[in-house]
Amino acid sequence: MSAEAGRFAPGPIERRKRLVERAAYVCLLLTTAALILPLLGILAYVVVKAWPVLSWSFLVENPKNYMTAGGIWAPLVGTLDVVVLSLAIAAPIGVLAGVYLSEYARENWLTRLVNLAVVNLAGVPSIVHALFGVGVFVLMAGFGRSIAAASCTLAIMTLPVIITSTTEALAAVPFAFREACWNLGASRWQTIRTIVLPNAISGILTGVILQVSRAAGETAPILFTGALFYVAVTDSGVASFFPYGLRDPFMALSYHLFTISTQVTGASDALAYGTAVVLIALVLTVNLVSIVFRVRLRSRRKW
Amino acid sequence: MAAHVVFRNVTVKYGATTALDDISLEVPTHQIFGIIGPANSGKTTLLKCINRTIDFIPNVRITGEVTLDGEDVFRVKNVCDLRRRIGMVFPLPVGLPLSVYDNVAYAPRMAGMRDRAQLDELVERCLRQAALWDEVKDRLRLLGTKLSGGQQQRLTLARALSHRPEILCLNRFSIAVDPVTTSKIEDVLLELKREMTIVVVSNLVQQVHRLADRVAFLNSSRLIEVGPTDVLFSEHPAHQLTFDYVRGHFG
Amino acid sequence: MVPSMGRRKDLRYRFSAFGESAVEWAIRLCGWSAILFVFAIFFFVFREGAPVLFGELDLTEFITSVNWRPDSTIRPQFGILALLAGTASVTALAMAVSVPAGFASAIFISEFCGPKAREALKIIIELLAAIPSVVWGFIGYMVLNPVIIWATGAPIGINILNGGIILALMSVPIIMSVGEDALKAVPDSYREAGLALGASRWQLTTRVLLPAARNGLLAAALLGVGRAVGETMAVLMATGHSVRIPHSVLDPVRTLTATIAAELGETVQGGTHYRVLFVIGSLLMIISLITNLTADLIVRGVKGRHGT
């Protein structure tokens, strides 16, 4: 017995190896912690500084006194309006375009080029989307700085990613299912409608939901296409939910955060931190929903 | 009810590769027609031409004529109707991600059948014909993808029968399935031959010998020989190649 | 035939066939219009800047001069060298921090931590990646600013250091997740072979996995660079507004992206300043295209090599 233990007992090289291994583990753990913990700490700090201001009335009141008091109702509803409108434009077009690229388009150089363009467009800097939005929607189409122009700009920004997540979700449905349906006399669209889309819908929705959070948080694309420093808006009643007409400029949460922290003097810090907290909470909630969706997708696999 | 499929000088090319080279043959009605040959000899392509699923392959060029009951399949008005006249079973079992009931009811529903009683009766009949009814009759809500491989293959057969085809094509149906299921399906085929024409493509030469009345031998995209089973499997088929293949000397 | 499929079904068939081809046409339309939009962005941005590119803009001055005075009434100058230096310096600092740290975390998550911790960490990283850039800019401007002033004694806290740290924190999630994908893509057979030879996890990582995942890690770094270069709001708020070549990390600078953001609102449509901003936009687009395409090609090469 002791002879066996002696044979497998660690020698000097092995002992040093294990030491290095331990050291590496600790270093990597510390690096990861050093990245994540300060971030969590900063976020906690932001919440703490915002505390005095966070309340229901903060959310539903409009900014007052040249932004030095009041709440964030106008920017909040502006963001919601413009995000909903942009997704209402981008989601149907993007999903159907994804269906086209995945199920109908022939495999040739054009399709490959389109896929390449779509994937790379997702990486274009957001300020370039602002340039496009200004040139095309504000000026050429004559929308002016408005909800319409900003929604269209955001729609173009989110379109490529919706297309890509749709094609990926569709590609995850095994080809054998489609073949089986075709052989049964189902047409292409019938197959897509009854088998392919229903089984890809979770993945598609996850992609769309993620774009909701992205559209809500982006500032650059709406900078010159419609977001304004201040727009007078009603406080109460049903009209306060749709205060902006399609041709009107609007306030937005992300832009409001930018102006209130860099361009407003006399506002309490808490107001700016409060705005930041609401924006972060909005974005994180939407992302959590998409994560929950993804987990549900994984557990409800039908094949 | 049963149809007569005729291939007349059919050549199929995928890009530069030739899959079928000037094939001419006739599939008689109410018989089991076997097709044998080594890998890549064009057997699957031949089946795909009958129900025009060859349309889904990009860059394919087809010359010649394929007729079903005298009608050119490449000129039919409604391809989906054509495909409903032909049943297809594939090498790998496929259960659609629907309930067993919905799997079998899929094709009739796509064709427009809505009546619940009719669908119930149809589902039971097809599952019985496919020798699967006893195993699933209490579990019709079960997801088709959760069945075993052998059950899924019989489910595919039931689906193929659900639209009352005139021809039933089986493409190497037993390669992924256990011997018990294989033998069950072979018994089913011998029964079904009374109602429809059956085409069996197989790499298992003995299986074709068991089942088929008439056999075609394909090699490297060419039709080498076609004739009654006894002749091709005898000591003196028309071609030496046939003799060698059947005896397992190559392929 | 299928029971009850008679002649009277012909009408219903014609309706459904019409409905079906209508849907298929809608799908084709969406497909083509999406393709149109995708290419439109590229062409439009280039087109708006083109007249000036082939006209009044002196390309040598554009690239080599530090004088950015677009609003000068005497002689407008469009030298972007200082802006390029701004973008480059902030990006370089950010990458110097985020690439090693991101890789280290990617290695930790992929090879060293337990499955539950891995799930939790991946969710946290995904949530951190979702934080909007204006919030990061806000953090740089309000939180990091006084910290830098206190820590370094500099007169202002919005400078390269601030922007670099913020950009590093923003790039880390993408480097971590793409890096982790790269490590995961290395086949398990490599790990099994290494373990069978008696390697410890660290030896396995440094001697086998990192070299094997080299391409994917490079792609991760490239994507991080792409993100940093294209970032607008965070650098607008965190790096200051000074247009000159920096001499230390405590100097404020202005990046290419922030310049567009700060000045587009004041330009005259069709004017020279307006068009030059579009030229800068085109430049940014080209940079991001190159980094994305290169990263894509590299990753494609990886897939080929490992035979997956």
ipTM score of complex: 0.91
* Inter-chain residue contact A106 with B58, CB threshold 8 Å: yes
Chain A environment of B159 (Cβ under 8 Å): 180, 184
* Inter-chain residue contact A303 with B90, CB threshold 8 Å: no
* Inter-chain residue contact C278 with A135, CB threshold 8 Å: yes
* Inter-chain residue contact A184 with B163, CB threshold 8 Å: yes
Beta strands in A80-192 (DSSP E): none
Q: What is the rounded distance in angstroms from the CA atom of residue A174 to the CA atom of residue B96? A: 10
Q: Does A176 touch chain B (CB under 8 A)?
A: yes
Given a cut of 60, is residue B222 above it in pLDDT? yes
Query: How confident is the model at residue A3, as a pLDDT?
Result: 52
More confident: C199 or B103: B103
* Inter-chain residue contact C3 with B118, CB threshold 8 Å: yes
Q: What is the rounded distance in angstroms from the CA atom of residue C20 to the CA atom of residue C216? A: 44
Token representation of residue A196: 């392919």
More confident: A230 or B228: B228
- C297-301's contacts with Cβ under 8 Å and 24+ in sequence apart are C298/C215, C298/C216, C298/C218, C298/C219, C298/C222, C299/C182, C299/C215, C299/C216, C299/C219, C301/C215
CA C27 to chain centre: 31
Are A180 and B145 in contact by the 8 Å Cβ rule? The answer is no
Q: Specify which residues B88 forms β-bridges with.
A: B169
Q: What is the rounded distance in angstroms from the CA atom of residue C20 to the CA atom of residue C26? A: 10
Are B50 and B67 in contact by the 8 Å Cβ rule? The answer is no
Token pair 């996995």 is at which residue?
Answer: C209
Compare CB distances from B96 to A106, A190, A195 and report the shortest one's residue.
A195
Chain B environment of C18 (Cβ under 8 Å): none
Give me the mean pLDDT over the B92-120 stretch.
Answer: 93
The CA angle B201-B202-B205, to the nearest 5 degrees, is: 130
Identify the weakest region by mean pLDDT among A84-93, A149-158, B170-179, C72-81.
C72-81
Percent of chain A with pLDDT strictly greater than 90:
41
Ramachandran sector of residue A71 (left: φ over 0; alpha: ψ -120 to 50; beta: rest): beta
Percent of chain C with pLDDT strictly greater than 90:
27
Given a cut of 60, is residue C1 above it in pLDDT? no
Q: What is the rounded distance in angstroms from the CA atom of residue A13 to the CA atom of residue B227? A: 75
Per-residue 3-state assignment (H helix, E strand, C coil) for A237-297: CHHHHCCCCCCCCECCHHHHHHHHHHCCCCCCHHHHHHHHHHHHHHHHHHHHHHHHHHHHH
Compare CB distances from B164 to C2, C12, C16 and report the shortest one's residue.
C2
Q: pTM of the prediction?
A: 0.87
* Inter-chain residue contact A28 with C107, CB threshold 8 Å: yes
Amino acid at C41: I
Phi and psi at residue C197, to the nearest 5°: -85, 0
The pLDDT confidence band at residue C303, using thresholds 50, 70 and 90, is: low
Residue in B166, B237, B190 with CA at minimum distance from that of residue B32: B190
Please, which chains are in contact with A (at least 3 CB pairs closer than 8 A)? B, C
Strand arrangement of the beta sheet that strand B17-27 belongs to? B17-27, B5-14, B60-68, B71-72
Query: How confident is the model at residue A120, as a pLDDT?
Result: 79
Q: Specify which residues B169 forms β-bridges with.
A: B88, B199
The pairing of strands B17-27 and B5-14 is antiparallel
Q: Specify which residues B14 forms β-bridges with.
A: B17, B60
Q: What is the rounded distance in angstroms from the CA atom of residue B216 to the CA atom of residue B178? A: 26
Chain B environment of C13 (Cβ under 8 Å): 78, 112
Query: How confident is the model at residue A99, as a pLDDT?
Result: 94
* Inter-chain residue contact B97 with A199, CB threshold 8 Å: yes
Q: Which helix (H) or strand (E) holds B168?
A: strand B167-171
At C22 the three-state DSSP class reads: helix
Q: Does B108 touch chain C (CB under 8 A)?
A: yes
* Inter-chain residue contact B112 with C1, CB threshold 8 Å: no
The pLDDT confidence band at residue C57, using thresholds 50, 70 and 90, is: confident
Query: How confident is the model at residue C77, as a pLDDT?
Result: 83
Token representation of residue C110: 């992929």
User: Residue C54, exposed/middle/buried by CB under 10 A (0-12, 13-18, 19+)?
Assistant: exposed
Given a cut of 50, is residue C307 above it in pLDDT? no
The pLDDT confidence band at residue A235, using thresholds 50, 70 and 90, is: low
Compare CB distances from B111 to A179, A185, A194 and report the shortest one's residue.
A185
C-alpha distances in Å from residue C92, one per residue of B17, B223, C161, C231: 53, 68, 11, 14
Instruction: Please tell me which residue of chain C has the smallest CA distance to B108.
Output: C2
C-alpha distances in Å from residue A204, one per residue of A88, A103, A106, A163, A164: 15, 15, 22, 9, 9
Chain B environment of C2 (Cβ under 8 Å): 84, 107-108, 111, 113, 163-164
Phi and psi at residue A19, to the nearest 5°: -65, -45
How far is the alpha carbon of C255 from chain B, nearest alpha carbon, in Å? Answer: 49
At B171 the three-state DSSP class reads: strand
Given a cut of 60, is residue A231 above it in pLDDT? yes
Given a cut of 60, is residue C194 above it in pLDDT? yes
Per-residue pLDDT tens for B61-71? Answer: 999 999 998 89
Round the average pLDDT of chain B to a whole number and report it: 91
Kindly give the residue spans of alpha helices, DSSP state H, lying in chain C.
Answer: 9-53, 59-64, 81-107, 115-129, 133-138, 145-152, 160-185, 188-196, 201-203, 210-212, 214-230, 233-238, 256-263, 272-306
Q: What is the rounded distance in angstroms from the CA atom of residue A206 to the CA atom of residue A195? A: 19
Percent of chain A with pLDDT strictly greater than 70:
94
Given a cut of 80, is residue A5 above it in pLDDT? no
How far is the alpha carbon of C297 from chain A, nearest alpha carbon, in Å? Answer: 11
Residue in B148, B173, B50, B155 with CA at minimum distance from that of residue B106: B155
The pLDDT confidence band at residue A257, using thresholds 50, 70 and 90, is: very high
Kindly give the residue spans of alpha helices, DSSP state H, lying in chain B.
Answer: 43-50, 79-84, 100-111, 116-129, 133-136, 149-162, 179-192, 205-211, 229-232, 240-246
Q: What is the rounded distance in angstroms from the CA atom of residue C18 to the CA atom of residue C21? A: 5
Query: How confident is the model at residue C305, as a pLDDT?
Result: 53
Given a cut of 70, is residue A302 above it in pLDDT? yes
Given a cut of 90, is residue C32 above it in pLDDT? no
Query: Which B residues in the span 157-186 are in contact with C, Cβ-Cβ below 8 Å?
Result: 163-164
The answer for residues whose C-beta is within 8 angstroms of residue C115's C-beta and 6 or more apart is: none
How far is the alpha carbon of C250 from chain A, nearest alpha carbon, in Å? Answer: 20
Q: Specify which residues B218 forms β-bridges with.
A: B223
At B195 the three-state DSSP class reads: coil
Q: What is the rounded distance in angstroms from the CA atom of residue C57 to the CA atom of residue A220? A: 26
Token representation of residue C92: 């370089």
Are C255 and C86 in contact by the 8 Å Cβ rule? The answer is yes
User: Residue B179, exposed/middle/buried by CB under 10 A (0-12, 13-18, 19+)?
Assistant: exposed
Given a cut of 60, is residue C308 above it in pLDDT? no
Query: How confident is the model at residue B10, as a pLDDT?
Result: 94
Amino acid at B16: A
Residue in B47, B48, B4, B42 with CA at minimum distance from that of residue B22: B42
The pLDDT confidence band at residue A240, using thresholds 50, 70 and 90, is: low
Chain A environment of C35 (Cβ under 8 Å): 97, 114, 117
Given a cut of 80, is residue A264 above it in pLDDT? no
Round the average pLDDT of chain A to a whole number and report it: 86
Per-residue pLDDT tens for B130-153? Answer: 999 999 999 999 999 999 999 999
Token pair 């491989």 is at which residue?
Answer: B149
Q: How many CA atoms lie within 13 A of A67 on its CB side?
A: 24
Query: How confident is the model at residue B109, as a pLDDT?
Result: 92
Give me the mean pLDDT over the C156-169 stretch.
Answer: 91
Instruction: Please tell me which residue of chain B has the smallest CA distance to C14.
Output: B78
Given a cut of 70, is residue A84 above it in pLDDT? yes
Query: How confident is the model at residue C13, as a pLDDT?
Result: 62
Query: How confident is the model at residue A25, as a pLDDT?
Result: 87
Identify the weakest region by mean pLDDT among A79-93, A202-216, B237-251.
B237-251
Query: How confident is the model at residue A54, as a pLDDT?
Result: 82
Q: What is the rounded distance in angstroms from the CA atom of residue B86 to the CA atom of residue B198? A: 10
> For residue A117, what is the DSSP state?
H
Given a cut of 60, is residue A4 above it in pLDDT? no
The pLDDT confidence band at residue B182, using thresholds 50, 70 and 90, is: very high
Token representation of residue C183: 């490590």
Given a cut of 60, is residue C7 above it in pLDDT? no
